[in-house]
């Protein structure tokens, strides 16, 4: 987690939507960001996907603002459940492997 707070420490590279923690995780875990998905229930959870070359899927929850859902529909993807998001990823991965 990001140990900073903008009001106390100023901006940092690891607080969402900044990509810092994803880049660190990719380095430490050997992740291929181009084959990675960011999934969350708020826009800030998935916003870094474009900058990272990854893909984002919003799974709205009761507190997800409608404008964030609309933005994700336009710019990334929206799934009804985490299971649906996982199913899409598996489907996309299977289709990519067939090519
Ligand atoms: Zn931070």
Where in the chain are the domains?
6-98
Q: Could you tell me the distance, in angstroms and rounded to a whole number, from the CA of residue 20 to the centre of ligand 1? A: 8
Q: Could you tell me the distance, in angstroms and rounded to a whole number, from the CA of residue 45 to the centre of ligand 1? A: 14
Instruction: Give residue 40's pLDDT band: very low, low, confident or very high (50, 70, 90).
Output: very high
Q: Could you tell me the distance, in angstroms and rounded to a whole number, from the CA of residue 94 to the centre of ligand 1? A: 36
Q: Could you tell me the distance, in angstroms and rounded to a whole number, from the CA of residue 13 to the centre of ligand 1? A: 6
Instruction: Give residue 58's pLDDT band: very low, low, confident or very high (50, 70, 90).
Output: very high
Report whether 37 contacts 55 (CB < 8 A): yes
Q: Could you tell me the distance, in angstroms and rounded to a whole number, from the CA of residue 10 to the centre of ligand 1? A: 9
Query: Domain 6-98 is classified in which CATH homologous superfamily?
Result: HAD superfamily/HAD-like (3.40.50.1000)
Segment 38-56 mean pLDDT: 96
Q: What is the pTM of this model?
A: 0.86
Residue 93 has pLDDT above 90, yes or no: no
């Amino acid at each position: 987690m990001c140990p900073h707070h903008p009001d106390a420490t100023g901006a940092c590279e690891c607080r969402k939507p900044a990509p810092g923690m994803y880049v660190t995780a990719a380095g430490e875990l050997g992740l291929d960001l181009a084959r990675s998905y960011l999934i969350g229930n708020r826009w800030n959870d998935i916003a870094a996907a474009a900058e990272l070359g990854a893909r984002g899927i919003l799974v709205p929850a009761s507190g997800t603002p409608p404008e964030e859902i609309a933005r994700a529909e336009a710019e990334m993807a929206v799934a009804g459940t985490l299971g649906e998001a996982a199913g899409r990823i598996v489907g996309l991965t299977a289709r990519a492997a067939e090519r």
